[in-house]
Amino acid sequence: MNIHSVRLRAVPVAVAVLLGGLWSSANALPVTYGNITLDASYHLGGTYSGGTVPAGVIDGMTDPSATIYTTPGGADLYLFTNDANGNNAFFHTYGFTGAYTYFGARASGAGDFFASTRATFSQVFTNTTSSAQLFNFAFHVAGGDVGITGQGSGYADLMLNIKKNGSSVARSRTTITQSSSGSASCDDSSSDLGALGSYMGCASPTGASDGGGLYNVNMGLIGAGESFVLDYDIIATVSGNLTQGTRIEEHCTGGYGGYGDVATLLSVGTNNGYGGGSICEFVTVPVLGEAIARSGDPFAAPIFVNGVPVNDPGPGGNLQGTFNDVPEPGSVALVGLGLAGLAAMRRYRKQGDTT
């Protein structure tokens, strides 16, 4: 498909061409890798209220427990951390640009915890033609979840936010709040905006999910020679003081694993069987409640123009390659297309044929 053959006489439709180089990395929170910025912070073992950031929050990007895989076009962060009481937080936050582009953020935790993470794609687009151009941002969002399990207070929040020059043009926000008494509510619409407003729906007061889908965001008319910044944030925040009751565990010390006569163990607390010399006891331990918020892979699908795929999705459905006849400096597989203009052009041609 030759993109250049499709034009409007009144308002030509073209691709806004990317200009500029990659951002430099920094050794502070947040951290930028190419066009991707990652952020993560947590705190364990406190009392938390909603999404309020507690004092003494820990930088997850520089935490010794964090594993960060980096490339010139992005990075992948894994972090699991816990304390002596079993309270924990887990992150998987990532983003890559290059032959294909994808990014996402997940935060989850159990017990008494706060965890927040963000993945941001940011890019400058410039209309290099001699006339105004319509810019349409076509992309795919993968499935996501927001949820709380257990009793006690909890909070789970997921936001997808697309901005043009710092102002939101499309947004989805889903927030679940549970009080210490167990009363819970799910809000999936009060902060929604534009095309992304249909992403995610509340299945129950403590759970929301979405299977993902294709979206289009109209970024408006871009004048000849004008540029704009497109930012796309995925922000996941969870916190809680959550339990799910208790369970009985066998705790043993010494010996060779604590195998022995359970009746004897219960009566005297000493294992006289295999692994003799080990001291065991049955203890009651809490089962921790959990919260999760996640979404990702915004570009993990082909982009379509009038129902025709203009690029190869490749293995796993991720964007591969570049558009025919369209220069793409940096080989970033993100492109703006004037879909509305294409449809208008077809109507214009049909009218011209009849006159």
* pLDDT on residue 60: 94
**Is residue 147 a contact partner of residue 208, using CB atoms and an 8 Å limit?**
yes
Q: How far apart are CA 333 and CA 216, in angstroms?
A: 16
Supply the pLDDT for residue 126: 84
pLDDT tens, position by position, 281-294:
888 777 899 999 99
pLDDT value for 223: 87
- For residue 307, name the pLDDT band (cuts at 50, 70, 90): very low
CA 315 to chain CA centroid, nearest Å:
21
Is residue 13 predicted with pLDDT exceeding 60? no
Helix or strand (DSSP H, E) at 354: helix 339-354
Higher-pLDDT residue of 142 and 207 is 207
Mean pLDDT highest for which of 143-152, 260-269, 270-279, 305-314? 143-152
Region at 196 (left for phi over 0; alpha for psi -120 to 50; beta for the rest): alpha
pLDDT of residue 222: 86
pLDDT > 70 in the chain, percent: 69
Q: What is the pLDDT of residue 87?
A: 96
Query: For residues 14 and 339, what is the distance between their CA atoms, to the nearest angstrom?
Result: 10
pTM of the model: 0.72
Would the pLDDT of 338 be above 70?
Answer: no
pLDDT at 102: 85
Nearest to 81 by CA among 41, 118, 51: 41
Q: Is the dihedral of CA 72, 77, 78, 80 positive or negative?
A: positive
Taking only the tens place, the pLDDT of each residue in 169-211 is: 999 999 999 999 989 999 999 999 999 998 999 999 999 999 8
Whether residue 272 has pLDDT greater than 60? no
Indicate whether 31 pLDDT > 70.
yes
Which residues, 6+ apart, have CB-to-CB distance to 75 below 8 Å? 31, 33, 36, 38, 68, 69, 94, 95, 96
Q: State the pLDDT at residue 260.
A: 46
Q: What is the mean pLDDT of the segment spanning 74-84? A: 94
Q: How much of the chain exceeds pLDDT 90, in percent?
A: 45
pLDDT digits (tens, 9 = 90+) for 323-335: 222 222 222 233 3
Mean pLDDT rounded to a whole number for the chain: 74
User: Is the per-residue pLDDT at 306 higher than 70?
Assistant: no
> What is the pLDDT, as a whole number, of residue 259?
47
Q: Is the pLDDT of residue 153 over 60?
A: yes
| Encoded amino acid at 37, one letter | T
